[in-house]
Amino acid sequence: MRVLITRPLAAATALSARLAALGHQALIEPLLTIVDDPEARTRLASALEDAQALLFTSSNGVTSFAVASERRDLPAFAVGDGTAAVARQSGFARVESARGDVEALAALVERRLKPSTGPIIHPSGHAVAGDLAGRLAQLGFTVRSVPIYHATAADRLSADTVGAFRAGQIDAALFFSPRTAATFVRLACAAGIEHDCARIAVVTLSAAVASDLEGLGWRQVVVAEAPTEKAMLRVLDGLAAEMRRSGAPNQ
pLDDT, tens digit (0-9, with 9 covering 90-100), for 197-235: 999 999 999 898 999 999 899 999 999 998 888 899 999
Percent of the chain with pLDDT over 90: 84
Task: Let me know if the fold of 2-31+154-246 is the same as that of 39-152.
Answer: yes
Find the mean pLDDT for residues 145-168.
96
Give the number of other Cβ atoms within 10 Å of residue 239's Cβ: 21
The domain locations on the chain are 2-31+154-246, 39-152
Cα(14)–Cα(238) distance, integer angstroms: 21
Q: What is the pLDDT of residue 251?
A: 44
Q: Strand, helix or coil at 5? A: strand
Q: Strand, helix or coil at 113? A: coil
- Which CATH fold topology does 39-152 show? Rossmann fold (3.40.50)
Whether 180 has a pLDDT exceeding 90, the answer reads: yes
2-31+154-246 belongs to which CATH class? alpha beta
Q: What is the pLDDT of residue 155?
A: 96
For residue range 92-128, what is the model confidence (pLDDT) as tens digits? 999 999 988 889 999 999 999 999 999 999 999 998 7
Cα distances (Å, whole numbers) of residue 95 to 131, 223, 227: 22, 27, 19
Locate all alpha helices (DSSP H) within 90-228, ordered by sequence: 102-112, 132-138, 159-166, 178-191, 207-211
Angle separating helix axes 229-246 and 81-89, nearest 10 degrees? 120
Beta bridge partners of 76: 54, 95
For residue range 16-64, what is the model confidence (pLDDT) as tens digits? 999 999 999 999 999 999 999 999 999 999 999 999 999 999 999 999 9
- DSSP structure string for 47-91: HTTT--EEEESSHHHHHHHHHH-----S-EEESSHHHHHHHHHTT
Q: Which helix (H) or strand (E) holds 19?
A: helix 9-21
